[in-house]
Structure 1
Amino acid sequence: MNYAVVFRLLGYILLCEGGLLCLPALVSALYSEWDILWIFLFTVALCFVIGLSLTFLKPRSKIFHMRESCATAALTWIVISIMGAIPFVLSGAIPNPIEALFETVSGFTTTGASVLADVESLPMGILFWRSFTHWIGGMGILVFLLAVMPLTGGSHVNLMKAESPGPQVEKMVPSVQATAKILYTIYLGMTALQILFMLAGGCPLMDSLLLTFGTAGTGGFGVLNDSLGSYSTYIQVVVTIFMILFGVNFSVYFYLTRRKFKKAFAIEEVRWYLAVIAASILLISWNIRDLFPSFLTAMQQAAFQVASIITTTGFSSCDFDLWPSFSKSILVALMFIGACAGSTGGGMKISRLMVLAKSIRKEVLQTVHPNAVTPIRVDGKPINHETLRSINVFMAAYIILFASSVLLISLDGYDFTTNFTAVAATFNNIGPGLAAVGPTANFSIYSGFSKLVLTFDMLAGRLELFPLLLLFAPETWKKF
């Protein structure tokens, strides 16, 4: 392990976080929240002092391979969450450090699970920071670092692979830094576009900003206690559309901006993603049609919740825990499916499930025709053995960690539906579950131990398991 290069990168990350913390400090100043302002300035200073001291480290080698990249990715999310929790604790918004860490990890990992029952009572600076963590975590802070800083040495694509969701990460252009800049340009552009649409619908400026942060990062922290239930149908429709758009593989937008329309529409994963959304909306709309004044209203509410769950955003427009079991079963299934690889969404990812479905089909065909050669293809290209192996290993690790988490938090004595959906909601970075952790409830019911288990789940889900698991492998920390 090249310790010096890992800690130096962590130093740069803390400098970035310190700079980003200046925005909620500015909001606190604008709203005359002077006590909150000083808390943010203290946290900024702490980030700068620690960050600068780490950047003075001089590694003998600037090369960082996959081991250093995974360790950096995992430690980055832990460190920024610890520092990001400080304003919650010092302001008294969440005085319990474990709960403050839970809330901050939930923000950065774009989960949206909360321990707060009354978000409307929060100071505006704290409320801004809470939602802004979604936007920061949506694209990834290491991708942000690659976009703004000309790092030298090593394989930068390893950093992107360690943090970016999906079974495989490809560069859009030969330069990794240029790829990171393209991703953030698209991300910023779509964010600005949604803010404009929200303002056009009469949504207040601060609400537009914070709800867009939650939508863009597919996070789900709301401004009001009922999430989006109090907003107009227009606002809910805008958020629905943008949740779906942010769940699309960003390669599609890159190809569209380059006028490579054939490549953009040839991405098979996106077709599966849209097909699953369409089928789910139709099935749920039919099932809940008697709960709403018209079928059109039922379809609008179904579309909102389907988009919110499959993209792992976690907003709610109504209490879907009151819907029939058929509809709730579909929503729970969507929790596991997730959005596209290369998007800001979480979950298992459509691409993995698509490959697994094709693998099952291949096995069935080979049972009938043992000598047939039937390669698994995605977008017309055969999937290599390494990718297929990594997907199978991911699924195995996913099931083991999921089952272990359900077992551990069951020590608190809550019912199976609550525990199962609590893990599903945190592990897949969604937010609300069902029963005692449903859309109108929160996660404050759990003990400190269970909150730590669920915090681990949020981090593991965002980093797609292995970067975080590597921290517990002794071989990771051996010097070379």
Structure 2
Amino acid sequence: MNIPLVLHTLGNLFLLLSGILLIPFGVSVCYGTREEIWAFVFSFIASGFTGISLKFLMTPKNEDITIREGLAIVAFWWMSCALFGALPYYFSGVCDTFCDSYFESMSGLTTTGASIFSDIEALPHGILFWRSMTQWLGGMGIVVFFVAILPTIGVGGHKLFSAEAPDLTTDKIKPRIAQTAKILWVVYLSLTAILIPFLWLGGMEFFDAVCHAFTTVSTGGFSTKNLSIAAYDNLFIEIIIMVFAFIAGCNFILYYQLVIGKFRRVLVNSELRFFVTLVICAICIVTLTLFFFHSTSYNGGVKDHRFNSIGGSLRYAAFQTVSIITSTGYCNADFDLWPNFTRVFLVLLMFIGGCAGSTAGGMKVARIMLLCKSSARELLHMLRPRAIMHVKLSGKPVGEDIITNTLGFIVIHLGIFGVFSLILTLFGTDLVTSFSAVASMMSNVGPALADAGATRNYHEIAYPCKWVLTLSMLIGRLEIYTVILIFLPLTWKK
């Protein structure tokens, strides 16, 4: 492990972060109080000083970034970025403890959307903007942004790119990874720029429109309102957010292929077709459940008047289903009061998530497809032992190493989910909250059930549980392997 190279690269990233902190500082100057302004000044100084120190004190002899350095840089960058991102919350006094500040910062950067704030609307504008901006930066990945603006990284850039976005899709749009990163960020910026005027024209104030555009395209879910999207009670806004959340939940490489005219490659993409089918079926199931069985839920047995018609049920079912499966986490209703079948169904959708190569969380649709197809192949193989059968995605055979990696990922994912859920119960958290909260954190969704429900927050969760949930967010965002490998002694050996 080339530790000087790791620290030197982290220094560059800290300098980049200090420059980014000037943006919410400018917002604070326009809107904020003195405490809020000084909070960003102190954060800027801390990040910049650390960056300069590491950049100039650590001079690596060998500047080739291998996969080991890539894993270390990405993992430690996300943990330390959350550390410096927590400073504005702590210095401004909006968070009582550093644990809460770090939880909120990690939730933003990993686009989880879980919050410890009870009264979001009372927060200063600079803090609200920083919350949304952290999700926007974390959505595409700030390391990917770093690779995009510093094309001289070369081969090492590919290692960083792969460590931060370890999806099944390894297709590069361009031969150089820096060009791929730039194109992805152009698509990301374009979607954000298109969404802002739609939300503004839909009835949001311009500041709220910018914040919600940041957290929609990143599938983050932080809102500037206590009731999330339900505060607007605006069908147009719900439809626009739902559409863009779905777009953000699809593979971003497909949009570039659309632009350059490769329509056939988009149409034959099996993951996209499966995802569209899954979303439509899920919406239909939730809609029918709300319409026919809502009165059987545990909210006193009273049927909500909003679900008296198929249209009303469809409105809330469609928005909440898309929001959950894309890991956006916005709420237009308290789904924790819905029928138990619907509550469990939505939690299961959290595990699936969006497409590989998207800003959505979860295990990804491609992995679920490989799990189903490989399981079906094994069943057929028992009937025809000598038959040679390949698992295919989009008409192309998938290598056995990828299938093994996928199955291992799912087993480890479920194992960590079980262990973390048990740890939460040790500190007095009830079963429903424990299991749903860990599932939500590892899928980077945000809202869960019971004490972590759609209208609740994570402020009352015990501090040891908050640290466990914070780790769950990071593991979910970096898709397990990157975080686990840095704790293995083999990674650090020469």
- Within a 5 Å distance, the mapping from 1:182-261 to structure 2 comes to 182-231=183-232, 232-261=234-263
Q: d(CA) in 1 for partners of 2:190 and 2:226? A: 29
Shift of 1:177: 0.5
In the alignment, what sits opposite 1:309? 324
| Residue 366 of structure 2, aligned match among 340, 343, 351 | 351
- Within a 5 Å distance, the mapping from 1:109-128 to structure 2 comes to 109-128=110-129
- Within a 5 Å distance, the mapping from 1:43-62 to structure 2 comes to 43-56=43-56, 57-62=58-63
Q: Does 1:324 align with 2:339?
A: yes
Q: 1:429, 1:458 within 8 Å by CA — same for their partners in 2? A: yes
Partner SS for 1:76 = helix
Q: Structure 1 vs Structure 2: percent identity of aligned residues?
A: 39
Q: Deviations over 1:207-236 (max 9, x none)?
A: 101111111111111111101102111111
Partner SS for 1:222 = coil
Q: d(CA) in 1 for partners of 2:92 and 2:82? A: 16
Q: d(CA) in 1 for partners of 2:82 and 2:156? A: 26
Q: d(CA) in 1 for partners of 2:153 and 2:62? A: 11
Partner SS for 1:228 = helix
In the alignment, what sits opposite 1:333? 348
Q: Deviations over 1:28-63 (max 9, x none)?
A: 011142331122122112211111222222211111
Shift of 1:358: 0.3
Q: Does 1:378 align with 2:402?
A: no
Q: Does 1:394 align with 2:396?
A: no
Shift of 1:141: 0.7
Q: 1:106, 1:113 within 8 Å by CA — same for their partners in 2? A: yes
Q: Deviations over 1:225-251 (max 9, x none)?
A: 101102111111110111100000011
- Within a 5 Å distance, the mapping from 1:72-471 to structure 2 comes to 72-152=73-153, 154-231=155-232, 232-289=234-291, 291=304, 292=306, 293-471=308-486
Q: 1:412, 1:446 within 8 Å by CA — same for their partners in 2? A: no
Greater displacement, 458-467 / 15-24:
15-24
In the alignment, what sits opposite 2:298? none
TM-score, normalised via structure 2 length: 0.95
Structure 1: 5+ residue stretches without partners: none
Shift of 1:326: 1.9
Q: 2:215, 2:222 within 8 Å by CA — same for their partners in 1? A: yes
Greater displacement, 180-189 / 7-16:
7-16
Shift of 1:165: 4.7
Letter in 2 for 1:101: Y
Q: d(CA) in 2 for partners of 1:23 and 1:155? A: 29
Q: 1:214, 1:222 within 8 Å by CA — same for their partners in 2? A: yes
Letter in 1 for 2:239: V
Letter in 1 for 2:97: N
Shift of 1:202: 2.2
Letter in 2 for 1:241: V
Q: Deviations over 1:402-421 (max 9, x none)?
A: 11101111112222111100
Partner SS for 1:35 = helix
Letter in 2 for 1:166: D
Compute the RMSD of aligned alpha carbons: 1.2
Structure 2: 5+ residue stretches without partners: 293-303
Letter in 1 for 2:133: F
Q: d(CA) in 2 for partners of 1:159 and 1:170? A: 15
TM-score, normalised via structure 1 length: 0.98
